Amino acid sequence: MLLVFRLTKATGTEATFTVGKEIIMDKLIFKGWSADFPQKGENDGAGNAPTAGPKTIYLEMDCFDDNSIVFYQGRNNTIAGSTIGNMIPLGAVGEVATGYNKFDMTLIDYPEVWEATKTITIKLRQIETNVVSSLTTGQAFGTDVDTDSGGPNNMDHGINLYFEVQRNPVAHNILQNFDIADAS
């Protein structure tokens, strides 16, 4: 099963999704992401891509804990470990390719069940001067108005996050195997 989560100007850089159906998994893989971020130079004064340089973005999801992702800042780390969260570096607004960015990272590799009522909160984060904070909607997706009038900023900028759910068919007995006799 492929799970796709999308954040846009309408959702902002933090959104909560309800799974909606029970999902039984043995493995969850972050396949990658694609985005249609505004590029540097597009409406910079309105809070799109930053004018002082690229704005690095990180993905944080509350369904992962320290058994799934542990983020270390590295050199001169003055950020308290509990405030860093479980973040995945994605790239920089205005600099990353807008096509598909492959990750293929296994985040869960054990049996788990997500109930239909499970909610998942997704945040796009940044680190500036050793402070973790959420990106603003304008920084990530621009502040242009959606119109059909054309121009460089007439689209609903956003990011798609792709996750593959895998199940072990033997352990969960989800597939039936049939032996078909050879024809003679």
For the chain, the distance separating the N- and C-terminal CA atoms, rounded to the nearest angstrom, is: 38
pLDDT in tens, 122-140: 999 887 777 788 888 877 7
Share the mean pLDDT of the chain: 75
The pLDDT of residue 44: 43
Alpha-carbon span 32 to 93, nearest angstrom: 16
Alpha-carbon span 33 to 100, nearest angstrom: 6
Amino acid sitting at position 53: G
pLDDT in tens, 81-129: 555 668 888 887 665 556 788 999 999 999 999 999 999 999 998 877 7
